[in-house]
């Protein structure tokens, strides 16, 4: 995963936070397993800039698990559906767009930019099934919602 993917996701998350719709901190989230936490901590520790590292470390559990555990599996699944490989979000601008059900399941909503029409975005729901003992993705399910929007 390239740094610009994290920056793009971070920029979107910053926008969501500014718009007042980020509620992850206000709600009690399920905790990652020790193996999952180790993988997340290792990724955060690899961020060189201390301010960026701190900003990332203070994100909600759902965002951290989605970004560091599920994003690569999501990319593969979404490319098969017709997404450009780098233009997707595993969240939207509504509350609870990412939810940690438990250490083995994260659910959410998102959107991807189509490869064939770069001004077209498709919305979808997703489930990331994890193996809590390893932190690896067992399965990533995507279901499009038949909602497509274009940038005017």
- Quick: pLDDT tens for 88-123: 999 998 988 999 999 999 999 999 999 888 889 999
d(CA 22, CA 16) in angstroms, rounded, equals 6
**Structural domain for 143, as ranges:** 3-150
pLDDT band at 152 (very low <50, low <70, confident <90, very high): low
Of 113, 105, 109, whose CA–CA distance to 95 is shortest?
A: 109
Contacts of 148 (CB under 8 A, 6+ apart): 120, 121, 122, 123
- Whether 9 shows a pLDDT value over 80: the answer reads no
Helices (H), 67-144: 71-81
pLDDT value of residue 105: 97
Average pLDDT for 78-88? 88
How many structural domains does the chain have?
1
The chain-wide mean pLDDT, for the chain, equals 84
d(CA 53, CA 127) in angstroms, rounded, equals 27
């Amino acid at each position: 995963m390239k740094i610009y993917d994290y920056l793009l996701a971070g920029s979107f998350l910053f926008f969501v936070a500014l718009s007042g719709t980020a509620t992850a901190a206000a709600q009690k989230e399920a905790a990652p397993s020790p193996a999952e936490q180790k993988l997340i901590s290792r990724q955060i520790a690899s961020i060189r800039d201390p301010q960026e590292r701190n900003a990332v470390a203070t994100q909600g559990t759902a965002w951290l698990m989605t970004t560091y555990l599920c994003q690569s599996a999501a990319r593969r699944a979404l490319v098969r559906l017709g997404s450009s490989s780098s233009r997707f979000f595993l969240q939207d601008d509504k509350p609870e767009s990412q939810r940690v059900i438990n250490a083995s399941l994260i659910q959410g909503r998102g959107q991807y930019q189509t490869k064939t029409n770069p001004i077209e975005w498709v919305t979808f729901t997703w489930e990331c099934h994890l193996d809590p003992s390893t932190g690896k993705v067992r399965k990533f399910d995507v279901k499009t919602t038949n909602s497509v929007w274009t940038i005017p």
